[in-house]
């Protein structure tokens, strides 16, 4: 039998098994929910940034818990119910990342990245890594955040033309800045992507190729998630770019790790390294030193492969996410010049270009603008989890299922999928009121009572998720974002170059600001140096 025939037979067999399980076993089939447009791909194509309005309609019609359809119409739970979400996020061994999602992430970071690992390996990695992201460590990175924010300011300033303005895709400059920040803060390595006199860095080039190649869509994209061999047999532009980026990052990571190990050992006078010897502020130094330290129990150490995998992980997880949030923030301030000016006045009242972390965090309007951006434009749209055993998920309110039976909880079978609608929850009218879709920083003066139930790690929002797999870098990202906005809004005025209604969210996992019809999002804004009158 030819390989192709075996492949097709395998696909059909797995599909049949899934189909059987779907129709006859999962209790989720009794939930109410929208009809799927395709038997094969279910709602797969609707679970994207461009379909947020449709998802909100589903929440309005069916309530916070309803059924959507996955591959071969497998019923899955879509939830914006804070009690159900809390249950799923706090039982992370019972609800793991699905294999197909882990495979996709592994294409970016390799299989040992903390975004991908589960169970004991994940717990060990977090134990070693968490201290590197604590408030004290982030305070120590303020110099990097300011230096790179001011570098972006100067980079744009140098491009101002004779008419006193520049028109640019702001995402490009911001993305360079966040890459430079994660380079220095993460690895003490300066990519210097904002220096025009240097050729484009290899890692930056690989990222640009990755984020500028369109995502595979349609049935092929769906099949490839479940049968990754298809990606190998028929590589798309995106797959090739991801493989190239991973190879570049691994090479870069191995070189860095080797250099750091040698540096640490050469600084030592005695034969062993102890935790107290840890001096470096960057994340990678901390990991390597923890790994070498003789006072760390053998079974809690990370393997070399574990350490190496975190280089692409931090580059991938910490770079484009923060850049996406900053892009949305500038977009909203361009739509609302009155908010922009109010913020500028607050920022200009500070008498230094480089305030401390505490001083930045004490600026009330800056804080509200950041919160409102991360509510309305959560960069990560949704996350999904796969039940590892039969379970019962508690819900906030009883509801009626498709058989008109009142339900007080939701039963799931092992293998069932749960989608946590981050963006849908944060724009739900039932929680945020009729103006949920409007950008209103002052709503944070008196936020709705209901949000106190949100099980998020920050700000009663799910933007950085919650539970044991919450974003490790949320403090890092918030301070970086504030430092960047501080530098940019003091220096420039931002204006839209396209009608506001043409701006839309684009993407599947990350929702980035772009213009209607674009496959690869770009946000052109008009920037003018600000002159005080
Ligand atoms: C606005 C910026 C950011 C947003 C919205 C964000 C959001 C998230 C979300 C939603 C997750 C959970 C994903 C899942 O479980 O499926 C996550 C995980 C993670 N984030 Fe972030 N993130 C941001 C910035 C950062 C930064 C700056 C770093 C590193 C410097 C970082 C590192 C990570 C890592 C390593 C994980 C995996 C944690 C684990 O599974 O234990 N993130 N992030």
**Domains of the chain as residue ranges with CATH:** 3-529 (1.10.630.10)
Any atom of ligand 1 within 6 Å of the Cβ of 506: no
Measured from the Cα of 384, ligand 1's closest atom is: 16
DSSP helix/strand/coil, 525: strand
What CA–CA distance (Å, rounded) separates 29 from 166? 54
Residue identifier of the C-alpha nearest atom 20 of ligand 1: 471
Candidates 178, 172, 245; CA nearest to 521 is 172
Report how far apart, in Å, the C-alpha atoms of 479 and of each of 68, 103, 141, 432, 522 are. 37, 31, 9, 26, 24
- Predicted confidence at residue 157, as pLDDT, reads 96
Per-residue pLDDT of the chain (533 residues; tens, 9 = 90+): 577 677 777 777 776 666 666 556 899 999 999 999 988 888 988 998 889 999 999 999 999 999 999 877 889 999 999 999 999 999 999 999 998 888 888 877 778 899 999 998 899 889 888 888 889 889 999 999 999 999 999 999 999 999 999 999 999 999 999 999 998 988 888 888 888 777 777 777 776 666 665 556 666 666 666 666 777 777 777 777 777 777 887 888 888 888 877 776 776 655 554 545 445 678 888 777 767 766 667 777 788 788 888 888 888 888 889 999 999 999 999 999 999 999 999 999 999 999 999 999 999 999 999 999 999 999 999 999 999 999 999 999 999 999 999 999 999 999 999 999 999 999 999 999 999 999 999 999 999 999 999 999 999 999 999 999 999 999 999 999 999 999 999 999 999 999 999 999 998 888 999 999 887 888 999 999 998 77
Distance from the alpha carbon of residue 253 to the mean position of ligand 1, in angstroms: 20
Any atom of ligand 1 within 6 Å of the Cβ of 325: yes
Measured from the Cα of 185, ligand 1's closest atom is: 30
Candidate from 47, 317, 318, 420 with most ligand 1 atoms within 8 A of CB, to mutate: 317
φ and ψ of 271, to 5 deg: -80, -25
Measured from the Cα of 465, ligand 1's closest atom is: 10
Any atom of ligand 1 within 6 Å of the Cβ of 321: yes
- Predicted confidence at residue 410, as pLDDT, reads 98
- Predicted confidence at residue 294, as pLDDT, reads 62
Q: What per-residue string of b and e applies to 136-158 under the rule 16 or more CB within 10 Å gives b?
A: ebbeebbebbbebbbbbbebbee
DSSP helix/strand/coil, 268: coil
What residues are designated binding site for heme? Answer: 471
Any atom of ligand 1 within 6 Å of the Cβ of 313: yes
Any atom of ligand 1 within 6 Å of the Cβ of 78: no
- Predicted confidence at residue 278, as pLDDT, reads 45
Distance from the alpha carbon of residue 26 to the mean position of ligand 1, in angstroms: 31
């Amino acid at each position: 039998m030819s390989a192709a025939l075996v492949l097709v037979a395998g696909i059909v067999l797995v599909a049949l098994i899934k189909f059987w399980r779907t129709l006859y076993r999962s209790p989720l089939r009794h939930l109410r929910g929208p009809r799927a447009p395709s038997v094969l791909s279910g709602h797969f194509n609707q679970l994207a940034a461009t379909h947020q309005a449709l998802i909100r309609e589903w929440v309005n019609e069916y309530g916070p818990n309803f059924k959507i359809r996955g591959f071969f119409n497998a019923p899955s739970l879509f939830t914006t119910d804070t009690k159900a979400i809390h249950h799923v996020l706090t039982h992370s061994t019972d609800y793991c990342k699905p294999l197909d999602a882990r495979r996709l992430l592994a294409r970016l970071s390799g299989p040992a990245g903390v975004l991908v690992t589960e169970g004991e390996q994940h717990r060990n990695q977090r134990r070693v890594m968490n201290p590197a992201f604590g408030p004290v460590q982030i305070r120590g990175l303020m110099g990097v955040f300011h230096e790179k924010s001011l570098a972006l300011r100067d980079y744009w300033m140098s491009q101002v033309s004779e008419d006193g303005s520049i028109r640019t895709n702001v995402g490009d400059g911001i993305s360079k800045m966040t890459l430079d920040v994660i380079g220095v803060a993460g690895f003490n390595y300066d990519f210097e992507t904002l220096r025009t006199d240097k050729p484009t860095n290899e890692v930056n080039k690989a990222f640009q190729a990755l984020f500028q190649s369109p995502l595979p869509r349609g049935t092929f994209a769906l099949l490839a998630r479940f049968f990754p061999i298809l990606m190998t047999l028929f590589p798309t532009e995106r797959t090739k770019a991801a493989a190239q980026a991973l190879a570049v990052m691994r090479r870069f990571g191995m070189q860095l790790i080797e250099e750091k190990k040698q540096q640490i050992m050469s600084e030592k006078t005695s034969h062993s390294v102890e935790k107290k010897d840890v001096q470096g502020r960057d994340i990678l130094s901390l990991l390597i030193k923890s790994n070498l330290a003789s006072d760390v129990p053998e079974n809690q150490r990370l393997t070399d492969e574990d350490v190496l995998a975190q280089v692409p992980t931090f580059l991938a997880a910490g770079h484009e996410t923060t850049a996406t949030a900053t892009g949305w923030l500038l977009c909203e301030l361009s739509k609302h010049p009155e908010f922009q000016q109010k913020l500028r006045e607050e920022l200009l009242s500070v008498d230094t270009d480089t305030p401390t972390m505490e001083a930045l965090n004490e600026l009330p309007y800056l804080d509200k603008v950041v919160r409102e951006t991360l509510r309305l434009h959560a960069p990560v749209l949704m996350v999904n989890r796969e039940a590892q055993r039969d379970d019962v998920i508690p819900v906030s309110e009883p509801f009626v299922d498709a058989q008109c039976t009142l339900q007080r909880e939701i039963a799931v079978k092992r293998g069932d999928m749960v989608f946590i609608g981050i963006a849908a929850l944060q724009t739900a009218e039932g929680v945020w009121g009729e103006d949920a879709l409007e950008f209103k920083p002052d709503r944070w003066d008196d936020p709705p009572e209901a949000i106190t139930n949100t099980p998020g790690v920050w700000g009663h929002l799910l933007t950085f998720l919650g539970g044991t797999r919450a974003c490790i870098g949320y403090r890092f990202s918030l301070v970086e974002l504030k430092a960047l906005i501080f530098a940019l809004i003091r220096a420039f005025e931002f204006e839209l170059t396209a009608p506001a209604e043409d701006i839309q969210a684009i993407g599947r996992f990350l929702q980035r600001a772009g213009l209607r019809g674009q496959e690869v999002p770009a946000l052109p804004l008009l920037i003018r140096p600000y002159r005080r009158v």
